[in-house]
Structure 1
């Protein structure tokens, strides 16, 4: 058995504010508890919630690591009591509640997935957060079905590139919004039927035109604010509007009459605070229905850029720039 080191390098949030508050520190290596595995991290995904945590707006759940990072990929270094599926040396990727920006990270076994053959660790680290989020919100909460219309706001975000591809792979027709013509072209390559440059077009008018005034069946929104009323106008009868973020604000006024007349469903979720049992159910669905699509190349893992662990601040700065897909830290 390999002896674990006593200490490791991790990224701490020193205060709150800009990317510069992310600082490498030396901390004790955590140990796997009952039902947990300790992963020797080879790559860790960078996500918008990490940025919110850095700003002091999204603290770690009580009892979980305050080190940022919600998804990792690597090899199992230690298996805790009761762990039955994974053993030391296995290649895994995991959704975690924190602790990803480090050389070692603890994960609940039920929230781990095997890394498919042919998928590298950088790609694997870019899978859990986005794929868990999209599957739960678009397909479980939103109930997207083959043949329906789907609108994704922020099509080149880490969430967006996954949502476009999965919706297309399962037979939906995809419309998306982005901020440039170059990003529009990238989204069409990923499977979008129509990509809208929100700086030059009104998405509600384009949706009306593209769908023959019918509207879309499901919308996944990360914007909120003044998008909400236009989203409601863009939905077809019995449409579903799903929220996972609100970059333009969470408090809005809506026309309830339109909601009632079209029998709309407004819902949303946050993933980090959900129980391991809920996440385990999503993991099982992904392994059965989605990972085969990744393994055979029908769904690509889109990585925009990689940075070393020590360059976490630069990675966060990149999040605020124009990018397509996921940003990943490598170890």
Structure 2
């Protein structure tokens, strides 16, 4: 098979479409013929050397795929060769084949194409695990989503609205304000021109930015508010006012999906299949795909992501399997 390797840490040009060893399924795993993968910010960080890998993780980037089951390992039930699936990965999605624990497989939602489904596992698992399983977002509460037109942000807006929450989001530029409202945001803020703290307080904040947003996030929380930090685009350091935390009875959570155990991921995936897939199949939540790029040209996909003009997911298509 072929896969996208990282020749050395650096810019998009270090990504190379190279020969790789075919995976074989261990007990409890399946091998998927990959139709498509999707770009995530963690892939860019991995390429740049800012996301250290564990020894048991694949050296190839890619945290989600769609495709067809090609082989089934010992002990796997409920899945068979030829089944169309999408999957949450720890890595290795930028490839023609990938081995994945069976507990991290999902069906393709009705009405969603095989390639399009590649952009669903990571964002839906991230959004559901953080908004519902960690923050306990409820109907009638107010959610602030930073980066509302990225992959995670656009999904978070839709899922939160489906749950009955009021949603406020930040976006970069006036042209994106209208798009965020079309997705369902009750309030969309151009962060370049307006301070999001003026629209609080917020019961839950989902933050992909980190850094100097920490102080303003906490200041914007309502009593018993919950801040969930899942990204560090502005860096890993910020000022935390403990008095704000104490007197508001607030909580700050830092989470990441990739480092969770297989058991935890299987539980998240099961909840996504049960709760989010009906939202997608009913049309309440829609995948947002910006464009597709050939997997062999993953470097171009990374350039597009870093340029920041995309709305939703950028997909990498393996033409042979798709």
**Partners in 2 of 1:33 and 1:71 — Cα distance?**
19
* Secondary structure, aligned partner of 1:30: coil
Query: Residue 212 of structure 2 contacts residue 239 of structure 2 at CA under 8 Å; is this kept in 1?
Result: no
CA-atom RMSD in angstroms: 0.9
The CA deviation at 1:184 is 1.1
Paired position in structure 2 for 1:323? 310
Q: 2:284 and 2:241 mapped to 1: Cα distance? A: 40
| Deviation for aligned residue 1:9 | 1.1
Query: 1:40-82 CA distances to partner (integer Å, 9 max, x unpaired)?
Result: 0001011000000000111332212101101000000000000
> For structure 2, which runs of at least 5 residues remain unmatched after alignment?
none
In the alignment, does 2:11 pair up with 1:15?
no
1:1-331 → structure 2 map (5 Å cutoff) = 8-205=1-198, 207-208=199-200, 215-321=201-307, 322-331=309-318
Q: 1-side partners of 2:21 and 2:212: how far apart?
A: 46
- TM-superposed CA distance for 1:311, in Å, is 1.1
Contact 1:238 1:263 in 2 (8 A): yes
Query: How many residue pairs were aligned?
Result: 317
Higher mean displacement: 246-255 or 101-110: 246-255
* Aligned mates of 1:114, 1:244 — CA distance in 2: 26
Task: State the distance in 2 between where 1:123 and 1:185 align.
Answer: 24
**Is the 1:61–1:273 Cα contact (8 Å) retained in structure 2?**
no
What secondary structure is seen at the aligned counterpart in 1 of 2:53? Answer: coil
CA distance in 1, matches of 2:153, 2:296: 27
Distance 1:327 1:149 in 2: 29
Helix, strand or coil: the match of 2:205? strand
Q: Deviations over 1:213-235 (max 9, x none)?
A: xx110000011122111111111
Q: Alpha-carbon deviation of 1:323?
A: 1.1
Residues 243-271 of structure 1 show CA distances to partners (whole Å, capped at 9, x for unaligned) of 00111122222211111111101112111
**Partners in 2 of 1:56 and 1:250 — Cα distance?**
15
Partner of 1:3: none
- Conserved in 1, the CA contact under 8 Å of 2:25 and 2:73? yes
Following superposition, which runs of at least 4 residues in structure 1 exceed 3 angstroms of deviation?
none
- 1:211 corresponding residue in structure 2: none
Unaligned 5+ runs, structure 1: 1-7, 209-214
Note the C-alpha offset of 1:116: 1.8
